[in-house]
Structure 1
Amino acid sequence: MTITQIIYWLELTGVAVFAVTGALEASRRQMDIVGFVLIATFTGIGGGTVRDVITGATPVFWIRDPAWVITCIGSAVFTYFTAHLVERRYVALIWLDALGLAMFGVTGAAIGLNLGVSPLVAIILGTITATFGGMVRDVVCNEIPLILRPEIYITCALLGASIYVIGTDILSLPRAPVALIAFLCSFALRASAIWFKLSFPVYRARPGREY
């Protein structure tokens, strides 16, 4: 199996995972099955769509290959009939989101490198791919996006994308092992942030000066 095929299947898995998070959010909002499909699709292919629009890829990936949309629909329908079996759906959503975040950070960066962009741009594309789908899900469902909450979030995608780009493009190491390491590091950081509520120091407003 070539690295392109590996990236394809990882991306498809990431789409399924993110689509399930969207469907879980739809279940929390008590939507009908059409709502499930809509939110799951927004979440599953949102980040990749933004990436392709930015890079000028035509047509966008899910127009070229209907497997992406079919995966979102299948994930939504599956979740519609099984969400009631999950007692803590928001907890499941958070952890599945962490899994998708780690996957897309790496695969988005890999796709960027395959397009011939610079290492920095590839890292940015990986981060966009990993975060924009979840952001669309949260905004549409009137939730504060995870990307704007105090816990470490976007940094996890940056970490995974950076490790992959540095390892493969700059150090010329084998892609598959580097991708696995990048994914594990990204997921471990996000899991730690969830478990231990890790966050960076926030800006504290100071009293204005008296003149």
Structure 2
Amino acid sequence: MTELPPVPLGPVVLWADLAGIFVAALGGALLAVRHKLDVFGVFVLAIVTGLAGGMARDVLIGATPVAALSHPGYLPAALAAGAVVFFGHRLIERASQPVMLFDAMALGFFAVAGARKALTFGLDPLAAVLLGVLTAVGGGALRDVLLAEVPRVLKVGELYALAAMFGAAIVVGGDALGLPSAAVGIVGALATFALRMVSVRFGVTAPRAPGSE
């Protein structure tokens, strides 16, 4: 059986993935410190939060071995974030809602990376949007499960997955229009981040089924 050559990926996927891994791992490690986990727990939560969503995405689209294990920069990015938090968490905690901020940033980066990579592997637009969402929320969901918390993506009313979906849809729409992938990626990441931040700041929530409140 002839092995297919690897699909070449552009810089948008690489840099969005790396940025998402780092900021997501910061949030995961910070939650580990808040839960009084030891050094092992801090780094486990950093790795899980930073890499799990992208690993699930890669498995589903057949991009194996997954980038988290094959690319030399992915795991070090998560480990570096864990080290930053382990030694500098007191300074980071001075910021206003740092975990929420890191989560919002990671949502934007991962939504773009997931959708862009899915398109590169030939998936149709709807599937690419869904893969963008999975990449964005997967690591955080597993992190919350490990901490025995309700995953943020399932909390009632939060614009979390919907924010990621919005950013991924921008990437897919830009691709359909033939717009530059880097510019579309920046817009998609910023839109996801902005929607998430606005929803938290002003209490904007997702609609519920009629009569379910």
TM-score scaled by length of structure 1:
0.91
What is the CA distance between 1:87 and its match in structure 2?
A: 3.6
Q: Distance in 2 between matches of 1:125 and 1:155?
A: 13
Structure 1: gaps (5+ residues): 207-211
Name the residue aligned to 1:199: 205
Segments of structure 2 that go 5 or more residues without pairing to the other structure are 1-7
Whole-angstrom CA distance in 2 between matches of 1:87 and 1:18: 15
Q: Identity of counterpart residues, as a percentage? A: 36
Runs of 4+ in 1 over 6 A off after TM superposition: none
Matches within 5 A, 1:1-211: 4-87=10-93, 91-149=97-155, 150-168=157-175, 170-203=176-209, 204-205=211-212
Task: Supply the distance in 2 between the matched residues of 1:109 and 1:24 (Cα, whole angstroms).
Answer: 27
> What CA RMSD, in Å, does the superposition of the two structures yield over aligned residues?
1.8
Task: Give a deviation string over 1:57-90, Cα, whole Å, max 9, x none.
Answer: 2111122123211111111011001112234678
Local SS of the residue matching 1:172: coil
Query: d(CA) in 1 for partners of 2:149 and 2:98?
Result: 16
- State the one-letter code of the partner of 2:12: I
Aligned-partner Cα distance in 1 for 2:144–2:72: 25
Aligned 8 A contact 1:28 1:89 in 2: no
Amino acid at match of 2:132: G
Taking the aligned partners of 2:149 and 2:74, their CA distance within structure 1 comes to: 25
Q: Deviations over 1:39-74 (max 9, x none)?
A: 100000010011011112211112212321111111
Instruction: Please give the secondary structure, in 2, of the residue aligned with 1:200.
Output: coil
Q: Is this contact kept in 1: 2:43–2:82, CA < 8 A?
A: yes
CA apart distance, 1:93:
0.3
Number of equivalences: 204
Stretch of structure 1 that moved more, 178-187 or 120-129: 178-187
